[in-house]
Chain A
Amino acid sequence: MSRQFVYQDDELIAKPFNWTQMGRLLGYVRPYRKGVAKVVFVMTAFGMISRLAIPLLMSIAIDRAIRPKDGPGSVSLLLWLVAGMLFLYGLRWWAQHYTIHHTNVIGQKVIFDLRSALFKHIQSLSFRFFDKRPAGSVLVRVTNDVNSLQDMLSNGVVNSVIDIAQLTGITIILLALNFKLGLAVMITVPIMFVVSSSLRKRIRHAWQVVRIKQSRINAHLNESIQGMRVTQAFAQEKENMSFFDGMNKSNIRSWNRASALNQTFGPVIEVTSAIGTLILILYGSYLIQSGIMTVGVLVAFVSYVGSFWEPITRLGMMYSQVLISMSSTERIFEFMDEKPAVPEKENAQRMPDIRGDVRLENITFGYELDRPALKGIDLDVKAGMSVALVGHTGSGKSTIINLLCRFYDTIEGRVMVDGIDVRDVTLESLRSQIGIVLQDTFIFSGTIRDNIRYGRPDATDAEVEAAARSVRAHDFIMHLPDGYDTEVQERGNALSVGQRQLISFARALLADPKILILDEATASIDTETELRIQEALGTLLEGRTSFIVAHRLSTIRNADRIIVLDHGVIVEEGNHEELMKRPGHYRNLVDAQYRFLSA
């Protein structure tokens, strides 16, 4: 089998019914229970009663007014009855309007609450949570999984109550109208139940297969659109088409199967209910023949039996939906149960204004327990100093930065800022005073101005511009169609990597942090811009403690202190001149670069 592309599937198979999960979910409906009670009352009291009473009125109209056994018909009685029907229909009109409107308002509120709670909770989670999950899977929880509960929580809850009430009502009426005929007709209910639930199980399963295949197609489409340039450059269009054709075919096959099964449902139910009709006609006319029952009652029976299957089918559908929703529910609560890996202490204080002294004391840390990323790191940085971190990929440079911002907590040792353990202060007060420029800048959709202002929303336009000027971003911004008000979309795809990086510099500068971190921030910037940044760096670093992770010598060389890391341990420390004087990692690194140049 070709492994040209591999898409891992989200699990979609229905979970068994789980009372605890369901209870938790219904907990979100609890605040609105009064509203739900009102809707159910209105619908049962007015909507349903009218529905049940009308066939009764109709049967009275036939037996008493239109075609009474004894004597002539009565137009005036007919008019009265019809007026009654009209009144009940009017009542039903109002009741339905009320129900539909309020059911949806409540349902939307519940969904809104659930989605907000989920999103808020996700915001409180730490990097560890995001490390192990692709962005897509988090997105799916907040959008699709919550949406799939929408119908169940709005119409589902209310309709189920109403349907059960209606079924009970019809059953009572049928039995009251004619006990034997009622009982005879209801023999079909268990048959219907068995037939429909077995069929529905297969249909449910078939649709799940469709959904899995569809999400695979979506994943591939998304990826192939984004990677189209690579595909075309490598002339892989034909290969892609034949891969997609296979995917598409298998998707359509699953659709064919599911829709064929789906199409059998209605006819099968109808044939089953024909058994009820058969009984009704045969036994009903026998009862009339024997003089036990009137024609009007038979007509009423026909009408009631007709509206008997509807709630049964709907309840069955509802149950199916609940089972499908179980997996969404489970996934949502799985997220809700995640605890932040970096918790705030209950009595956490605000971090006072930072001066900029940073101390790492004997730090040991690992992303996974058995693979330490840092081992016994000690580092003392005085306020205003610039520190360059040098080393291979995986030597622990970025890890030091992650701990400093408290994106993770140390396993041993502690991180102190101005003599305060970072675990004792609130995350917000700590991080808002630390600025960080990452290698892969994230640009949010919105204007350039909003993006620069991200770290300090109250900055004035003049301040935004000043920040952009000092990192030399102003010129290119002014060349954009709408200057600072240019809207950027899809992570700023229209900008070059270097331009995005400049915006990120401006963003960090505007936030005016006391500690500034540049994590491979200049890697993607072109030479000309780098020259400018070099000039700007002086302004940028002035009066701040700074940590610079960089691959380029030009950026590293000017640091007050250079820390060379290797496999999570500090192997060398000093400024450029000091380190160049003695043989070691750093000098080898620099020499190699020059040797290469002259070779």
Chain B
Amino acid sequence: MDIFRGLKSFYWQDKPFLLGSVLGLAAATALGLVYPLLLRTLIDDMILKGKYEGVLQLALLAVGIVIVKAISQFVSGFSGSRLGNRLAYRMRNACYAKLQELSFSFYDTARTGDLMSRLTADIEGIRQFLGFGLAQLLNTVFLVLFGFGMMFFLDWKLTLLIVIIIPVLCFVAIRFEQQIHPVFRSIRSAVGRLTTSVQENVTGVRTVKSFAREPFEVDKFSVNNTEYSERNVEIAGVWARYFPAMEFIANFSVVLLTVVGGWRVIEGQMTLGDLVAMSSMLGIIVAPLWTLGFIINNYTMSKASGERLLELLNQPVAVRNEESCLILDDEAVKGHIRFDDVSFRYASREDQPSALAGFDLDAPQGSVIGILGGTGSGKSTAVGLLLRAYDVGEGSLTLDGVDIRHLELQSLRRQISIVFQESFLFSTTIKENISYGVPEATMEEIVEAAKLAMADDFIRELPQGYDTIVGERGMGLSGGQKQRIAIARAFLRNPKVLILDDSTSALDMETEQEIQQSLRQVMKGRTTFIIAHRISSLRHADEIIVLDRGRIAQRGKHEKLLRQPGLYRETYRIQFADRPEELDQAPLDAAAGAERRVTG
């Protein structure tokens, strides 16, 4: 019950609904038990005695009871579903808010599918239990107490005999739950695998088709399909074993009642009406007991769901605001960035060397910093720290002289615009995608940003222009087109610090050059970080930093780096080997020679 105590804040303010759902159901059940009593009166006191004058009143009373019962039933169901719905609403909002708060390091290891199922299936599990299961569980308990109480009152000896079926039914119900629970879980994971296999197949269709691997894909799918099918048959097997058995036990109790009760009627120890009423009551009592197994299962599953939700809600947030954090005044920010002996290691890769070590950098307002380096050299890590996607391990990182850990997170990020390596577009119009983060932007500003990012032309050629819906369910765009929209998005924000993380890789040469031209305009007065593989993008930086396995290997301006042996010069040779005149003679000869060696 700890789990439900932990979730109390989500449902406790709806106590009236909880009460309504339980009491309504109890009332409906109690009234259901009255019906057999009426039947008894009809047989014993009217028909058998030949006094028919009260039949009409009795019949109307029966109808009246049915109506009241129906109303209580509705009250119970209505309250239960309101309770469940409100609970689901609050929990979903809380989880969503938590997701917004969790840091990049959480998302580095989290799986989308897993988070999705917490926010959907797990919340649904809790809704089902607190909305309906709990009331049913309590109702079953009431019903058994009530029903047997009344039967006891009618004929206690007979009742004592019948009561023995209760532990038997409970035992069977618990066994059922124990067997069905693991199967439910295996179905859940089978569904997951089936979905993943189709999803991968469809998103990777180009790869599948280009390797002509359709038959293999069909086989792979078939394995998952069979697995899913078998699990379903398995669950039906458990169901087939238990459900008829439970029904038999329940029926057996009625038969037992009939034979013993019938004998007692023959002996004159009991009236016929009592017997009919008791057997009718017994039928009402045992009905919910069949479903006891399901209710217990519902409870254990929702307990597990609650655990997963609490785990998410209590997840520690790696990067958070300090208590007395500073909110930046947007106008006053200059954009002077300083890295002072910064080191960082990813929490998820503790066994590996630091992602960044002893990183020093001074980027005054308006300067352009270029970063070059291989995969895993720490380029993206450096800009991630600047964004406070992660907090620095050692050393300090300051904006205008203030350690960014003292700044309010959102106000820091408002100063920075970043274009990520993999451009992500939301499912909305291109216009909304560009103005993401600047809701007050005018259409002119949006078009202006798109023009600077060389996106205006292709956007206008789309069927709905700027109103074309993109994203997963929208119009398919090429990698280069997506990148240009992401660049326009960053330009529009008018930030103090601009970060381009390898954001022009998918563009063709001409477009890239055009964007470089606009960049010069956009970069004016802003501190800019450019991570790139192309010398043409880095060439004009005030300082170029070459990273190698987390450490600064070389730094300086283009001309200086060209004179030093190292990655920068190597890259230059590969990319510009045919333009020797531009270089001064010394490194040039070596370059030409190296080029011939490389290309054969």
User: In the complex, A275 Cα to B493 Cα: how many Å?
Assistant: 70
Q: How far is the CB of B328 from chain A (nearest CB, A)?
A: 11
Q: Is A392 an interface residue (CB 8 A)?
A: yes
User: In the complex, A30 Cα to B143 Cα: how many Å?
Assistant: 46
Q: How far is the CB of B200 from chain A (nearest CB, A)?
A: 5
> Given A96-B247, A531-B570, A553–B47 Cβ distance below 8 Å?
no
> Given A89-B251, A249-B89, A535–B598 Cβ distance below 8 Å?
yes
Q: Is A169 an interface residue (CB 8 A)?
A: no
Q: Is B66 an interface residue (CB 8 A)?
A: yes
Judge whether B218 and A143 touch: CB under 8 Å.
Answer: no
User: In the complex, A58 Cα to B373 Cα: how many Å?
Assistant: 88
Q: What 1/0 mask marks residues of chain B from 180 to 211 whose CB sits below 8 Å from any chain A CB?
A: 00000000000100111011111111111111
> Given A4-B432, A295-B47, A528-B375, A534–B236 Cβ distance below 8 Å?
no
Q: What 1/0 mask marks residues of chain A from 407 to 433 whose CB sits below 8 Å from any chain B CB?
A: 100000000000000000001111110
Q: Which of B48, B63, B212, B389 contacts A278 (CB 8 A)?
A: B63
- Give the residues in chain A near B502, CB-CB below 8 Å: 524, 526
Judge whether A274 and B96 touch: CB under 8 Å.
Answer: no
Judge whether A252 and B88 touch: CB under 8 Å.
Answer: yes
> Given A100-B244, A222-B112, A267–B506 Cβ distance below 8 Å?
no
Closest 6 CB pairs of A and B: A104-B236, A528-B374, A73-B266, A263-B77, A267-B70, A259-B81
> Given A270-B73, A490-B112, A431–B236 Cβ distance below 8 Å?
no
User: Interface stretch among B7-15, B146-154, B155-163, B473-481?
Assistant: B473-481
- Give the residues in chain A near B599, CB-CB below 8 Å: 534, 557-558
- Give the residues in chain A near B63, CB-CB below 8 Å: 274-275, 277-278
- Give the residues in chain B near A278, CB-CB below 8 Å: 59-60, 62-63
Q: Is A445 an interface residue (CB 8 A)?
A: yes
Q: How far is the CB of A470 from chain B (nearest CB, A)?
A: 16
> Given A223-B426, A226-B424, A553-B575, A232–B375 Cβ distance below 8 Å?
no
Q: Which of A111, A127, A143, A526 contacts B375 (CB 8 A)?
A: A526
Q: Is A19 an interface residue (CB 8 A)?
A: no
What are some 25 contacts across the A-B interface (CB < 8 A)? A65-B262, A86-B252, A86-B255, A104-B236, A115-B225, A138-B198, A229-B107, A234-B413, A235-B409, A238-B410, A241-B100, A245-B93, A262-B81, A263-B74, A277-B62, A302-B39, A393-B458, A430-B212, A431-B212, A432-B212, A439-B479, A476-B376, A499-B375, A511-B211, A593-B509
Q: Is B525 an interface residue (CB 8 A)?
A: no
> Given A58-B258, A281-B62, A252–B516 Cβ distance below 8 Å?
no
- Give the residues in chain B near A139, CB-CB below 8 Å: 195, 198-199, 202
- Give the residues in chain B near A499, CB-CB below 8 Å: 375
Interface residues of B in 408-430 (CB under 8 A from A): 409-411, 413-414, 416-418, 420-422, 424, 426-429
User: In the complex, A61 Cα to B560 Cα: how many Å?
Assistant: 109
- Give the residues in chain A near B511, CB-CB below 8 Å: 392-393
Q: How far is the CB of B203 from chain A (nearest CB, A)?
A: 5
Q: Which of B52, B420, B428 contacts A229 (CB 8 A)?
A: B420
Judge whether A438 and B506 touch: CB under 8 Å.
Answer: no
How many residues on the A side are at the interface (Cβ–Cβ under 8 A)? 177
> Given A442-B206, A445-B200, A527–B47 Cβ distance below 8 Å?
no
Q: How far is the CB of B500 from chain A (nearest CB, A)?
A: 13
Judge whether A233 and B62 touch: CB under 8 Å.
Answer: no
> Given A234-B436, A281-B62, A241–B244 Cβ distance below 8 Å?
no
User: In the complex, A100 Cα to B420 Cα: how many Å?
Assistant: 55
Judge whether A100 and B376 touch: CB under 8 Å.
Answer: no
Q: Is A336 an interface residue (CB 8 A)?
A: no
User: In the complex, A120 Cα to B506 Cα: how many Å?
Assistant: 34
Q: Is B372 an interface residue (CB 8 A)?
A: yes
- Give the residues in chain B near A112, CB-CB below 8 Å: 225-226, 229
Judge whether B210 and A405 touch: CB under 8 Å.
Answer: yes
User: In the complex, A584 Cα to B429 Cα: how many Å?
Assistant: 38
Q: Which of B84, B116, B259, B427 contacts A5 (CB 8 A)?
A: B427
- Additional A-B contact list (5), CB under 8 Å, known A96-B240, A552-B575, A554-B577: A3-B432, A229-B389, A281-B59, A520-B479, A538-B600
> Given A92-B248, A270-B69, A592-B510, A256–B81 Cβ distance below 8 Å?
yes
Q: How far is the CB of A476 from chain B (nearest CB, A)?
A: 7
Q: Is A78 an interface residue (CB 8 A)?
A: yes
Using CB atoms, name the residue of chain A closest to B204.
A442
Judge whether B216 and A557 touch: CB under 8 Å.
Answer: no
Interface residues of B in 36-74 (CB under 8 A from A): 39, 42-43, 46-48, 50, 52, 55-56, 58-60, 62-63, 66-67, 69-71, 73-74
Q: Is A388 an interface residue (CB 8 A)?
A: no
- Give the residues in chain A near B82, CB-CB below 8 Å: 256, 259
How many residues on the B side are at the interface (Cβ–Cβ under 8 A)? 175
Q: How far is the CB of A517 from chain B (nearest CB, A)?
A: 8
- Give the residues in chain A near B333, CB-CB below 8 Å: none
Using CB atoms, name the residue of chain B closest to A434.
B210
> Given A235-B410, A431-B210, A230–B116 Cβ distance below 8 Å?
no
Q: Is B315 an interface residue (CB 8 A)?
A: no
Q: Which of B59, B229, B259, B375 contacts A78 (CB 8 A)?
A: B259
Judge whether A439 and B240 touch: CB under 8 Å.
Answer: no
Q: How far is the CB of A70 from chain B (nearest CB, A)?
A: 14
Q: Which of B50, B92, B107 contacts A228 (CB 8 A)?
A: B107
Q: How far is the CB of A423 from chain B (nearest CB, A)?
A: 16
User: In the complex, A58 Cα to B283 Cα: how many Å?
Assistant: 14
User: In the complex, A86 Cα to B253 Cα: how many Å?
Assistant: 10
> Given A270-B70, A531-B571, A130–B214 Cβ distance below 8 Å?
no
Judge whether A65 and B266 touch: CB under 8 Å.
Answer: yes
Q: Is A467 an interface residue (CB 8 A)?
A: no
User: In the complex, A427 Cα to B210 Cα: how many Å?
Assistant: 10
Q: What 1/0 mask marks residues of chain B from 573 to 600 whose CB sits below 8 Å from any chain A CB?
A: 0111111001000000000000000111
User: Interface stretch among B297-305, B395-403, B533-541?
Assistant: B533-541
> Given A228-B107, A235-B437, A530-B574, A263–B78 Cβ distance below 8 Å?
yes
User: In the complex, A221 Cα to B248 Cα: how many Å?
Assistant: 46
Judge whether B428 and A6 touch: CB under 8 Å.
Answer: yes
Q: How far is the CB of A352 from chain B (nearest CB, A)?
A: 16
User: In the complex, A531 Cα to B199 Cα: how many Å?
Assistant: 34
- Give the residues in chain A near B426, CB-CB below 8 Å: 5, 223, 227, 230
User: In the complex, A575 Cα to B62 Cα: how many Å?
Assistant: 98
Q: Is A349 an interface residue (CB 8 A)?
A: no
With most chain A CB atoms within 10 A of its CB, the pick from B110, B535, B578 is B578
Judge whether B600 and A597 touch: CB under 8 Å.
Answer: no
Q: How far is the CB of A102 from chain B (nearest CB, A)?
A: 9
> Given A226-B112, A249-B89, A596–B536 Cβ distance below 8 Å?
yes
Q: Which of B50, B259, B437, B480 contacts A234 (CB 8 A)?
A: B437
Judge whether B533 and A530 touch: CB under 8 Å.
Answer: yes
Q: How far is the CB of B332 from chain A (nearest CB, A)?
A: 18
Judge whether B74 and A218 touch: CB under 8 Å.
Answer: no
> Given A230-B424, A527-B374, A551-B507, A93–B116 Cβ distance below 8 Å?
no
Judge whether B218 and A79 touch: CB under 8 Å.
Answer: no
Q: Which of A92, A266, A434 contacts B244 (CB 8 A)?
A: A92
User: In the complex, A498 Cα to B374 Cα: how many Å?
Assistant: 9
Q: Which of B100, B115, B209 contacts A231 (CB 8 A)?
A: B100
Q: Is B313 an interface residue (CB 8 A)?
A: no
Q: Is A109 an interface residue (CB 8 A)?
A: yes
Judge whether B473 and A219 touch: CB under 8 Å.
Answer: yes
Judge whether B436 and A557 touch: CB under 8 Å.
Answer: no
Judge whether A218 and B245 touch: CB under 8 Å.
Answer: no
Using CB atoms, name the residue of chain B closest to A150.
B232
User: In the complex, A439 Cα to B84 Cα: how many Å?
Assistant: 47
With most chain B CB atoms within 10 A of its CB, the pick from A61, A103, A108, A214 is A108
User: In the complex, A129 Cα to B214 Cα: how many Å?
Assistant: 15
- Give the residues in chain A near B413, CB-CB below 8 Å: 232-235
Judge whether A100 and B240 touch: CB under 8 Å.
Answer: yes
Judge whether A596 and B85 touch: CB under 8 Å.
Answer: no
- Give the residues in chain B near A240, CB-CB below 8 Å: 96, 100
Q: How far is the CB of B279 from chain A (nearest CB, A)?
A: 8
